Amino acid sequence: MFEDIQEVLVTREALEEKVKELGKRISKDYEGKELVLIGVLKGGVVFFADLIRHITIPIEMDFISVSSYGNSTKSSGVVRIIKDIDIDITNKHVLIVEDLVDTGLTLRYLKDLFEDRGPKDVKVCTALDKPSRRKVDVPIAYNGITIPDKFVVGYGLDFGGKYRNLPDVCVLKESVYDNKVD
Ligand code: XMP
Ligand code: MG
């Protein structure tokens, strides 16, 4: 796995520092409010687990699993729910926790989906942001680290289902991307 890495784009230390800062801000902003954190499976799981341990107010948590039609490196914008959340978000504050905002199509869909269920508000927290590829505007209340337009893996993000457990955000060697077309 490590031999496939070309470059570490965001180190685990930089991620940790950012996650701490976001956790602090969230704890302050939602003090005294009913907050539900919704993690987006599978990529958002690593960030989610780190983030909640830096949140010092009571929260509820749930997960949604979505897949976007298209190939593995491009989002088509057509989103399909594989697993919905179980809890009722009526009158609660919702914070969607994502690994990465790319075109913004997935988050636009999720925001609209949850907003239709009567929450107090729906905001977005992402570990990584690739603003250069945005197709639809989605406000990001809690933004982690802005990255250039490169396909990245690690810290929850995968290529062909692999590399999610790399602790840093990395770019793989070109030969890895070339050899696997799915
Ligand atoms: P959109 O384009 O809808 O897509 O904002 C967001 C989701 O697409 C995936 N994505 C990536 N996954 N490396 C990945 O492993 C990447 O560089 C990348 N760019 C987008 C990711 O699941 C994200 O939540
Ligand atoms: Mg994702």
Domain assignment present for 57 = yes
Q: How far is CA 111 from CA 5, 61, 100, 179, in A?
A: 34, 16, 15, 35
What's the confidence (pLDDT) of residue 72? 57
What's the confidence (pLDDT) of residue 67? 85
Domain assignment present for 5 = no
Catalytic-role residue among 50, 99, 102, 129: 102
Domain span at residue 70 reads 12-148
Domain assignment present for 105 = yes
Q: What is the ipTM of this complex?
A: 0.91
The total number of structural domains that make up the chain: 1
Q: Write the single-letter amino acid at 57.
A: I
Beta strands in the chain (DSSP E): 5-10, 35-41, 59-68, 79-83, 93-101, 121-129, 142-146, 169-172
Average pLDDT by consecutive 10-residue portion of the chain (182 residues)?
93 98 98 98 96 98 86 68 97 98 94 98 98 94 97 96 96 86 52
Sequence-ordered list of residues with C-beta below 8 angstroms from that of 22, at least 6 positions apart, any chain: 51, 54, 125, 142, 144
> Which residue has the least CA distance to atom 21 on ligand 1?
100
Domain assignment present for 124 = yes
Q: How far is CA 80 from CA 10, 50, 57, in A?
A: 30, 27, 32
Domain assignment present for 153 = no
Ligand 1 centroid to 72 CA: how many Å?
9
CATH code at 71? Answer: 3.40.50.2020
- Taking the CA of residue 79 as reference, the ligand 1 atom at the shortest distance is 3
Query: By percentage, how much of the chain surpasses pLDDT 70?
Result: 93
In sequence order, the β-bridge partners of residue 67 are 80
Domain assignment present for 77 = yes
Ligand 1 centroid to 157 CA: how many Å?
8
